[in-house]
């Protein structure tokens, strides 16, 4: 019986890793799509980068919008809890506050997931299509230096060549 190559579909990696391969040999990031797929996109790299950035910013805005809704709900629940007499109502408002807080946590975790997902796509896109830009693809040392303002490299290269 001959060994047949693995079947490739849109869901499989271009370089499948055998099940017996050690964990260290598995790449941490997926490869960029092949040129026959990316050639179908007629938008410029700038437009595609702008779309990724807009989507990431939309996710951040939605994150804060949902957080504000839950903050108002929890504030109303807390006001009801502290202003009502009677143990039955206080117990009801306490349970509502606990449920609302648990839902708030889950919604925040979901929002953070999508924000991180789009930031990762921006990082991969930058590294592949805009090397040297390093807005999202900056390494940890460069980010730390920029935040601490110690020996931070310039954000963008000088156009006129002077330094």
Banded model confidence at residue 155, pLDDT cuts 50, 70, 90: low
- Residue 21's pLDDT is what? 46
Task: In whole angstroms, give the CA distance from residue 75 to residue 150.
Answer: 42
Which one is predicted more confidently, 135 or 115? Answer: 115
What is the rounded average pLDDT for all residues in the chain?
77
Banded model confidence at residue 34, pLDDT cuts 50, 70, 90: low
User: C-alpha angle 158/43/8, rounded to 5°?
Assistant: 110
Which one is predicted more confidently, 36 or 58? Answer: 58
Show me where the domains of the chain are located. Answer: 67-147
In the chain, count H helices and then E strands: 4, 0
């Amino acid at each position: 019986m001959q060994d047949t190559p693995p079947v490739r579909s849109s869901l499989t990696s271009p370089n499948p890793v055998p099940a017996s391969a050690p964990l260290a040999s598995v790449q941490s990031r997926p490869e960029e799509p092949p040129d026959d797929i990316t050639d179908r996109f007629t938008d410029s790299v700038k437009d595609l980068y702008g779309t990724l950035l807009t989507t990431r910013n939309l996710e951040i805005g939605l994150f804060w919008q949902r957080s504000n809704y839950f903050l108002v709900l929890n504030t109303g629940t807390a006001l009801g809890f502290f202003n009502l007499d009677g143990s039955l109502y206080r117990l009801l408002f306490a349970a509502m506050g606990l449920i609302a807080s648990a839902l708030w946590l889950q919604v925040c975790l979901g929002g953070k997931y999508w924000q991180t997902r789009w930031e990762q796509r921006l990082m991969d896109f930058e590294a592949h299509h805009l090397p040297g830009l390093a807005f999202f693809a900056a390494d940890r040392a460069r980010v730390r230096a920029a935040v601490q303002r110690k020996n931070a490299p310039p954000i963008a290269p000088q156009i006129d060549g002077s330094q």
